[in-house]
Amino acid sequence: MSFRRAAAIQFGSRYLNVFLQLILTAILARLLSPNDYGIIAGISIFTNLFGILADMGLGPAIIQYKNLTKNDYGSIFLFSLGLGSVLTLAFIGLGFPIAWFFRVAAYTHLCAWSAISIFFSTIDMVANGILLKEKRFDLVGFRLIVTTIIGGVVAVTMALNGFGAMSLIWNINIISILVFFWNFISVRGQISFSDIHIVHSMRIVARYSSYQAGFGLVNYFSRNLDHLIIGRISGSAPLGLYDKAYKLTTYPIQFVPGVLGSIIQPFLSMYQDKKEKLYEAQSKMISVLAMIGSMATFLFLLCNKELIYFAYGSQWMQCVPLFTILSISITFQMVNNITGSILQSAGRTDYLFAQGIFATVIMVVFVLIGAISKNLYTVTAMVTAAFVLQTITVAYFTTVKTFSHKLFDFFKPILPSAITSTICFLPLAVIKYYFEFLTDNYFISFSFYTSVYILMTVCALLLTGQLKTLKVLFTK
């Protein structure tokens, strides 16, 4: 399958999936309370950690190593089966200290139910890795849509019948169960259990996967410390507000870098020894991501109230200040998100691990500074500042260390789009500030400012020639 077709399939399936998630979120946000979402956000902090322990970097390693046999896959699968059993029991036991930490007794039994998804996600890493390695993105995309719909129907049905936070847990459980069986049946012929040598097979991928797992662990603390501290010092309801604001800002990341990240390594791993070719690919993608990210950032800032209202409803309007602060970091997160796949393709998971450590230190320091104030808005501002500074670590370990270019070469593709989008944003921001009183209809204001801003930005990009860079997304 060509990169162009794979990208088209992934874009189509991801766009449809995000659209379905937006509909599901809009429904559930009106059926469940901020406290329900806060509890699930607290559990997610720890399920994310166990997700990293479950994968152990083996998924990307399966993609990277081309000489793995069917017996190797079978051996790694049996290893994942044992690992999944251990992690499942451990997470059930972890429910008690989690309940103590957040001072909410419900975490005890909710963690036990959440352990189901941990088990099936763990034993899925081999089958999913094989599908990506074989570039079967059509199957992956179709699976994504079907499982999202089924899981969403279950969640809404449970929410309507008063199951509260449990509705969100079973949404994840149903999806993880369906994904495993779908993937395993699809690759069953690629896995053999006739000649099992677990230790030998694990040694083949150990070095690559260990650095990948190490990066996952340090990146976990970078991505989840804010939720952990907010949940501890502020409680479930404020954590629910923060989590919904945070997740809404991640949708642009899912749209573009999330899609590219899922298909880059299978294609670019063949250029592991051609560093300049990888550098050129990175620069082109950064240029496009900066263009889209800048537009998303300023559009979110311009229509912050409208977006929260449409996505979650009037009961979530307290999210608006948090959403506004976090939106500033969207461009930086989009650019940072794609570089992990570049380093994987270059075979430098050691640099990926090192970059993750520095990025985590930045996040930990800034979040702890914010926590001293015990103010939710201050913590949110510190998180945004940390995301911005993390871009420097990404630039250093990719452009400087891996590709032997200057640090500024990483930022050059970002500047034109950032400047253009800012110039288009400022006059509209002034107009909205002084004339917002003219209408209290969110649909009218959203339609007006969105259409005018996009039209102005597209015209500016055309005049400056920047829009032509979008074509590089679909060139080899």
Query: pLDDT tens digits, residue range 227-256?
Result: 888 988 888 889 999 999 999 998 888 776
pTM for this structure?
0.77
CB 345 within 8 A of CB 272: yes
Predicted local confidence at residue 170, as pLDDT: 96
Domain membership of residue 201 (yes or no) is no
Tokens of residue 431, six digits: 């107009």
Neighbours of 431 (CB within 10 A): 14
The C-alpha atoms of residue 310 and residue 245 are separated, in whole angstroms, by 13
Same domain for 273 and 303 = yes
E strand spans, 411-459:
none
The C-alpha atoms of residue 107 and residue 122 are separated, in whole angstroms, by 22
Domain membership of residue 206 (yes or no) is no
Predicted local confidence at residue 66, as pLDDT: 72
Give pLDDT tens digits for 66-116: 778 888 888 888 988 999 999 999 999 999 999 998 888 999 999 999 999
Same domain for 416 and 311 = yes
Domain membership of residue 203 (yes or no) is no
Predicted local confidence at residue 472, as pLDDT: 53
Query: Which residue is it, tokens 């009106």?
Result: 30
Same domain for 233 and 139 = no
Predicted local confidence at residue 189, as pLDDT: 85
Same domain for 226 and 345 = yes
The C-alpha atoms of residue 179 and residue 231 are separated, in whole angstroms, by 30
The C-alpha atoms of residue 448 and residue 432 are separated, in whole angstroms, by 10
The CA-atom distances, in angstroms, between 349 and each of 211, 395, 400 are: 5, 15, 15
R_g of the chain computed on alpha carbons: 22
Predicted local confidence at residue 441, as pLDDT: 87
The C-alpha atoms of residue 97 and residue 274 are separated, in whole angstroms, by 49
Same domain for 385 and 296 = yes
Neighbours of 408 (CB within 10 A): 10
The C-alpha atoms of residue 114 and residue 8 are separated, in whole angstroms, by 33
Tokens of residue 109, six digits: 């039994």
Give the list of residues 6+ apart from residue 447 with CB closer than 8 angstroms, or none: none
**For residue 412, what is the DSSP state?**
T
Same domain for 229 and 128 = no
What secondary structure does DSSP assign to 105-117, as a single string? TTHHHHHHHHHHH
Neighbours of 199 (CB within 10 A): 9
Tokens of residue 116, six digits: 């189901």
Give the list of residues 6+ apart from residue 114 with CB closer than 8 angstroms, or none: 43, 47, 91, 169, 172, 173
Same domain for 231 and 188 = no
Give the list of residues 6+ apart from residue 72 with CB closer than 8 angstroms, or none: 201, 204
The C-alpha atoms of residue 118 and residue 115 are separated, in whole angstroms, by 5
Same domain for 255 and 155 = no
- Its sign, for the CA torsion 189, 194, 198, 201, is negative
Same domain for 231 and 86 = no
| Closest C-alpha to 147, from 116, 182, 180, 178 | 178
User: From first to last of its 476 residues, what are the pLDDT tens digits of the chain?
Assistant: 555 666 666 667 777 877 888 899 889 999 998 889 899 989 988 998 888 787 776 777 777 777 788 888 888 889 889 999 999 999 999 999 999 988 889 999 999 999 999 999 999 988 888 888 877 777 888 888 999 999 999 999 999 999 999 999 999 999 999 999 999 999 888 888 887 888 777 777 776 667 667 777 777 877 788 888 898 888 888 999 999 999 999 888 877 666 665 556 556 656 666 778 888 888 888 888 888 899 999 999 999 999 999 989 888 999 999 999 999 999 999 988 877 778 877 778 788 888 888 988 999 999 999 999 989 999 999 999 999 999 999 999 989 988 889 999 999 989 988 999 999 999 999 998 888 767 778 999 999 999 999 999 988 888 887 777 665 555 54
Domain membership of residue 204 (yes or no) is no
Domain membership of residue 118 (yes or no) is yes
Domain stop point among 167, 196, 225: 196
CB 211 within 8 A of CB 352: yes
**For residue 339, what is the DSSP state?**
H
Same domain for 372 and 468 = yes
Maximum Cα interatomic distance, the chain, rounded to a whole number of Å: 74
Domain stop point among 136, 163, 196: 196
The C-alpha atoms of residue 56 and residue 285 are separated, in whole angstroms, by 27
- By CB neighbour count within 10 A (0-12 exposed, 13-18 middle, 19+ buried), where does 296 fall? buried
Domain membership of residue 288 (yes or no) is yes
The C-alpha atoms of residue 345 and residue 270 are separated, in whole angstroms, by 8
Domain membership of residue 364 (yes or no) is yes
Domain membership of residue 34 (yes or no) is yes
Query: Which residue is it, tokens 């049946």?
Result: 185
Predicted local confidence at residue 475, as pLDDT: 52
The C-alpha atoms of residue 414 and residue 394 are separated, in whole angstroms, by 14
How many residues can be counted in the chain?
Answer: 476
Tokens of residue 197, six digits: 């040598």
Same domain for 450 and 331 = yes
- The domain tally of the chain equals 2
Predicted local confidence at residue 95, as pLDDT: 92
Same domain for 87 and 126 = yes
| Closest C-alpha to 334, from 285, 283, 373, 383 | 285
Its domain, for residue 12, covers 1-196
Question: If residue 381 lies in a helix (H) or strand (E), which one and from where to where?
Answer: helix 376-395
Domain stop point among 196, 227, 244: 196
The C-alpha atoms of residue 104 and residue 91 are separated, in whole angstroms, by 17
| Closest C-alpha to 28, from 126, 168, 217 | 168
